[in-house]
């Protein structure tokens, strides 16, 4: 099928031509998220000290003191922010990620503190409004969990803007 091959080649050329610009745009949104979220006391970007060319433009992995990942993800999902609590290669695992442990030895438990992990994966079509939504939601959820004790069964009581139907299906992260 010559026409199909020509069409595929044109589509691949178009994607390749825009890849660098897309990567820069997505990396800028990732950095905006990292800058805003790392202002929260006890939140650390796992690769903040890495060289920019050694960090994926679409991945933001954070450690959050005094917050368990499971209720964090539950509340973020209810607010329309899709996220994960582990590295992509350990997605769905309950045990600490071997990748995170290699990046930051002892990161998930440091000096006896409980540290939740949060991974946001930004899609190629993510936009500023979606990043702003995450920046508006995540600090309130973290504060709520810290005040209530994040090992308790998650509820949306007291979380700004929370409602049972709030999930907007934003392409920030994974479902």
Is 38 a residue of the active site? no
Active-site hit among 16, 89, 94, 95: 89
Strands 59-65 and 113-121: antiparallel
User: Up-side HSE of residue 14: CA atoms within 13 Å toward CB?
Assistant: 6
SS3 122: strand
- Are 78 and 156 in contact by the 8 Å Cβ rule? The answer is yes
Q: How far apart are CA 105 and CA 83, in angstroms?
A: 22
Catalytic site residues?
89
């Amino acid at each position: 099928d010559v026409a199909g091959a020509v069409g595929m080649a044109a589509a691949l050329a178009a994607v390749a031509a825009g890849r660098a610009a897309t990567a820069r745009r997505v990396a800028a949104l990732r950095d905006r998220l990292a800058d805003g979220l790392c202002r929260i006391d006890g939140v650390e970007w796992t690769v903040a000290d890495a060289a920019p060319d050694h960090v994926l433009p679409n991945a933001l992995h954070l450690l959050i003191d005094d917050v368990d990942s499971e209720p964090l993800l539950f509340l973020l999902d209810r607010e329309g922010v899709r996220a994960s609590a582990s590295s992509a290669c350990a997605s769905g695992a309950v045990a600490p990620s071997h990748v995170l442990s290699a990046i930051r030895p002892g990161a998930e438990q440091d000096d006896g503190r409980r540290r939740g992990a949060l991974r946001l994966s930004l899609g190629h079509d993510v936009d500023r409004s979606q990043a702003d939504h995450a920046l508006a939601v995540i600090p309130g959820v973290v504060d709520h969990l810290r005040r209530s004790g994040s090992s308790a069964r998650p509820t949306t009581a007291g979380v700004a803007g929370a409602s049972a139907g709030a999930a907007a299906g934003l392409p920030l992260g994974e479902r």
